[in-house]
Amino acid sequence: MRKLKLGVQISGRGSNLQALIDACAQENFPAEITLVISNVEGVEGLAKAQAANIRTLTIPHKSFPNKEAFEEAIDDAHQKAGIDLICLAGFMRVISPYLISRWRGKMINIHPSLLPAFPGPHTHQRAMDAGALFSGCTVHYVEEEVDAGAIIVQAPVPIKPDDTESELAARVLAIEHKLYPYAVQLIACGFIRYQDGKIISKDTDSMPPIGLLNPALLS
Ligand code: GAR
């Protein structure tokens, strides 16, 4: 089986990257991480990738005269590495139409809310302030509008009455770590396909429940 080649873009801690690394380390997982790009030097996520012997590149946005030049360098690195799917994992720069047009349908992101609710930053506090009973996380394709592309999978997380922002964020993050590898698995196994801004093929009857290493997908 040919594995899907992932290029992961990070800006910091890289806990979702670690979840993807752990998933890819499982025998027969249908994807592998070929390249990790950070736009910030020396972040924890880079060390996580290096510890797993994954090639890393630091492409600092600040060293480029403009966004297009920065994204051209990112595009070039992914192209040269033969990447099939870009996974944004806490990549904290808005992607411009330049890069999106080159990777449309091949770039996904994880966001810590139940989109379309609470796009953008400070999602947990905003969900609590709104009196929502549930927060959660979403994996979606990346389009020009921030946090608004076709939704691949979502998972709800209950908000407790006495939650703090950091407690809720930690519980959502734990679910993100299950959801992101699951989304990659669904794409790599062909349950999810993207066309013209929509997911056109969702074989929901035979789709496995969330969870890594569903035996049916690993044979
Ligand atoms: C995660 O919670 C991810 O969902 C969020 O940043 C965090 C990165 O953590 N991403 C966004 O808010 C994107 N809009 P990590 O570096 O430990 O994976």
- What residues are paired with 136 via a beta bridge? 156
- The residue whose C-alpha atom lies closest to atom 16 belonging to ligand 1 is 14
Average per-residue pLDDT for the chain: 93
Q: Picking from 5-19, 151-165, 188-202, which range would have the lowest pLDDT averaged per residue?
A: 188-202
Which CATH number does 4-218 carry? 3.40.50.170
Structure tokens at 5: 């080649």
Instruction: Tell me how far the alpha carbon of residue 199 lies from the centroid of ligand 1, in angstroms.
Output: 23
Greatest Cα-to-Cα distance within the chain, rounded to the nearest angstrom: 49
pLDDT of residue 212: 46
- Give the pLDDT mean for 189-200: 90
Known catalytic residue: 111?
yes
Q: Each residue of 70-93: pLDDT tens digit?
A: 999 999 999 999 999 999 999 999
- pLDDT at residue number 27: 86
Distance 205 CA to ligand 1 centre (A): 30
Q: For the chain, give every domain's residue range.
A: 4-218
**pLDDT tens, position by position, 120-179:** 999 999 999 999 999 999 999 999 999 999 999 999 999 999 999 999 999 999 999 999
User: Among 127, 128, 160, 143, which Cα is nearest to 88's?
Assistant: 143
pLDDT at 211 over 70: no
